[in-house]
């Protein structure tokens, strides 16, 4: 009662001030909560949209429910079926879309984003340039693309034997490709409006990696790229401005593509071949061939062997008129020896002669190259990471950023070299781990061992000592 009486004793002006202060405090709390949620969503990977058959697996390979806005964890994998398509927001400025029959794995550690494409195609759209301490990489088995504020598509070109390729629709993308057999790595810059394919030559010690560049126009742009551009008018304007492509031609290509898609179902019902097949089944009624045998077969015995025994049966027939017709078979009957002429089965002797000439393939000349390759034995020392070129003046020095055996984020310095068999390996120079150090990572001792880098799982395996250089 004392507090109530005290409030009642306040002047109207003081009461207004208290009420305004309370309202402002509540509004501030609401704003903080909303901004915190917005920041959470902006930094969270989540499924934005999907159609058709889509599957999500966690890092243990277990299925997760597929619903819009479901959160992605680092290590999750997304795959689409033959009728599937899915878009993932890596944050509020980075969106990737998987084509049908595609699969990608997602890794995120702090400000490092990595997408590993194992099949199909992925379209990427980054609306803002990355900050200096941010990285976003899309990897295939041999190619790595550093995305910093561009759009385009990375894919396995099924029309060219699954060759790893990239199309850039605006901005510039730095790519590197490594030949896993020779260990050679080459880099290239891909400008908007260009396409590059990666070629690997395992029989070369130098230039075992090559890039083929091709200009992309409004007429030969890939359908999946066109669909993604068509769904975003802001992106369409950005792409046309960067590449110089005619926006009207792009819109026309989009309309033509939509028209083709609508016509496809109408073209499928073609039942004509089914009718033709039934006619073909009925047409082979060679009644004229069987009729002569039927005329001779009135005696039931010939049914045991219709073709061979029918000629002898007409001869014993007592009717005079059939004999006048039967002289034709007797002319064949007295020549039972000619069946010995059937051995003209010498034709098969001609067919096998050609095959042995092709069999002497020169494969034995390729087999004597028993050079032991790298081995990935035991448990990897460092996992879930990638090698990064950080020294412009020395391409043999790289940093591995990932996770150590104790589950801590780590950065390890390596020098590129080769084991005693010539396989690419890396000698460790230093070892830093995440911790409580306010100035950054803490340096730990390392044994300067040699490691193989497995591109498939992003891990470093210790080289057996008998293979050290």
- Please give the pLDDT value at position 256: 86
- Please give the pLDDT value at position 263: 60
By C-alpha distance, which of 134, 145, 214, 156 is closest to 178? 145
- Please give the pLDDT value at position 398: 85
Average pLDDT over residues 167-189: 94
Question: Residue 125: which residues within 8 A CB-CB, separation 6 or more?
Answer: 94, 95, 96, 97, 151, 228, 232, 235
Whole-number Å distance between alpha carbons of 228 and 214? 21
Helix (H, G, I), strand (E, B) or coil at 87: strand
- The answer to whether the beta carbons of residues 139 and 116 sit under 8 Å apart is yes
Average pLDDT over residues 253-272: 65
- Please give the pLDDT value at position 353: 46
Q: Is the pLDDT of residue 313 over 60?
A: no
Specify the CATH class of 43-253 in words: mainly beta
- Please give the pLDDT value at position 205: 83
Average pLDDT over residues 388-394: 69
- Beta-bridge partners for 311: none
Average pLDDT over residues 298-309: 44
- Please give the pLDDT value at position 4: 65
Q: Domain spans of the chain? A: 43-253, 382-467
Helices (H), 208-312: 223-230, 233-243, 247-267, 272-282, 287-296, 306-309
- For helices 223-230 and 247-267, angle between their N-to-C axes, nearest 10 degrees: 110
- Please state whether beta strands 209-215 and 450-454 pair in parallel, antiparallel, or not at all (unpaired): unpaired
Average pLDDT over residues 170-179: 94
Instruction: Quick: pLDDT tens for 125-144.
Output: 999 988 888 999 999 999 99
- Please give the pLDDT value at position 155: 97
Instruction: Quick: pLDDT tens for 207-223.
Output: 999 999 999 998 899 99
Question: Residue 311: which residues within 8 A CB-CB, separation 6 or more?
Answer: 296, 329, 332, 333
Lowest model confidence (mean pLDDT) among 32-36, 149-153, 361-365, 391-395: 361-365
Helix (H, G, I), strand (E, B) or coil at 167: strand
Considering only CA atoms, give the Rg of the chain.
38
- The answer to whether the beta carbons of residues 309 and 302 sit under 8 Å apart is yes
- The answer to whether the beta carbons of residues 230 and 236 sit under 8 Å apart is yes
Q: Is the pLDDT of residue 426 over 70?
A: yes
Q: Is the pLDDT of residue 329 over 50?
A: no
Q: How far is CA 261 from CA 67, 254, 257, 442, in A?
A: 26, 11, 6, 57
- 368 CB-side CA count, 13 A: 3
* CA dihedral for 30, 34, 37, 43, sign (positive or negative): negative
**pLDDT band, residue 390 (cuts 50/70/90):** low
Q: In the 8-state DSSP scheme, what is residue 129?
A: P
Backbone angles phi, psi at 70, to 5 degrees: -65, 140
- Please state whether beta strands 194-200 and 163-170 pair in parallel, antiparallel, or not at all (unpaired): antiparallel
**pLDDT band, residue 43 (cuts 50/70/90):** low
Lowest model confidence (mean pLDDT) among 123-137, 229-243, 268-282: 268-282
- Please give the pLDDT value at position 391: 66
Question: Residue 449: which residues within 8 A CB-CB, separation 6 or more?
Answer: 427, 428, 462, 463
Helix, strand, coil distribution of the chain in percent, nearest 5? 30, 30, 35
Q: Is the pLDDT of residue 224 over 60?
A: yes
Helix (H, G, I), strand (E, B) or coil at 355: helix
Mean pLDDT score of the chain, rounded to an integer? 78
- Beta-bridge partners for 214: 195
Highest mean pLDDT among 1-5, 68-72, 330-334: 68-72
More confident residue, 12 or 196: 196
Percent of the chain with pLDDT over 90: 42
**pLDDT band, residue 12 (cuts 50/70/90):** confident
- Please give the pLDDT value at position 189: 94
Instruction: Return left, alpha or beta for 421; rule: phi > 0 is left, psi -120 to 50 is alpha, else beta.
Output: alpha
- Please give the pLDDT value at position 164: 96
- Please give the pLDDT value at position 30: 66
Whole-number Å distance between alpha carbons of 364 and 352? 23
- Please give the pLDDT value at position 15: 75
- The answer to whether the beta carbons of residues 375 and 468 sit under 8 Å apart is no
């Amino acid at each position: 009662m004392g507090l109530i009486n005290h409030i009642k004793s306040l002047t109207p002006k003081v009461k207004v001030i208290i009420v305004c202060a309370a309202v402002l405090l509540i509004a501030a709390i609401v704003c903080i909560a909303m901004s915190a949620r917005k920041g959470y969503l902006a930094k969270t990977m989540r499924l934005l949209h999907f159609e058709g058959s889509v599957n999500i697996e966690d890092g243990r390979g277990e299925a997760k429910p597929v619903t819009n806005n479901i959160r992605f964890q680092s290590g999750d994998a997304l795959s689409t079926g033959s009728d599937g398509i899915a878009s993932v927001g890596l944050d509020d400025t980075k969106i990737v879309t998987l084509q049908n029959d595609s699969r990608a794995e997602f890794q995120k550690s702090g400000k490092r984003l990595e997408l590993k494409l194992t099949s199909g195609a992925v379209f990427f759209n980054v609306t803002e340039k990355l900050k200096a301490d941010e990285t976003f990489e899309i990897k295939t088995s041999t190619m790595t693309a550093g995305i910093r504020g561009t759009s385009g598509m990375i894919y396995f070109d099924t029309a060219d034997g699954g060759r790893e390729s990239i199309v850039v629709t605006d901005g510039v993308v730095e790519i590197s490709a490594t030949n896993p057999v020779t260990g050679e790595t080459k880099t290239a810059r891909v400008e908007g409006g260009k396409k590059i394919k990666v070629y690997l030559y395992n029989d070369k010690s130098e230039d075992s990696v090559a890039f083929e560049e091709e200009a992309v126009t409004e007429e030969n742009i890939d359908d999946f790229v066109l669909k993604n551009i068509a769904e975003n008018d802001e992106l369409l304007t950005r792409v046309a401005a960067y590449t110089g492509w005619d926006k009207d031609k792009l819109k026309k290509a989009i309309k033509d593509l939509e028209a083709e898609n609508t016509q496809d179902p109408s073209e499928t019902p073609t039942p004509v071949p089914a009718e033709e097949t039934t006619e073909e089944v009925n047409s082979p009624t060679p009644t004229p061939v069987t009729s002569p045998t039927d005329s001779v077969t009135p005696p039931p015995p010939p049914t045991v062997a219709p073709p061979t025994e029918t000629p002898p049966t007409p001869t014993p027939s007592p009717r005079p008129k059939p004999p006048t017709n039967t002289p034709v078979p007797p002319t064949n009957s007295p020549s039972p020896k000619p069946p010995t002429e059937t051995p003209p089965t010498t034709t098969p002797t001609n067919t096998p002669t050609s095959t042995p000439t092709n069999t002497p393939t020169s494969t034995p000349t390729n087999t004597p190259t028993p050079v032991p390759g790298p081995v990935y034995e035991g448990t990897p020392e460092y996992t879930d990471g990638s090698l990064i070129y950080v020294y412009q003046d020395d391409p043999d020095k790289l940093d591995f950023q990932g996770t150590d055996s104790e589950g801590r984020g780590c950065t390890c310095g390596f020098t590129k070299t080769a084991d005693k068999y010539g396989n690419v390996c890396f000698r460790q120079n230093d070892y830093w781990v995440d911790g409580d150090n306010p100035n950054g990572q803490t340096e730990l001792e390392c044994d300067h061992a040699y490691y193989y880098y497995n591109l498939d799982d992003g891990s470093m395996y210790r080289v057996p000592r008998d293979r050290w250089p």
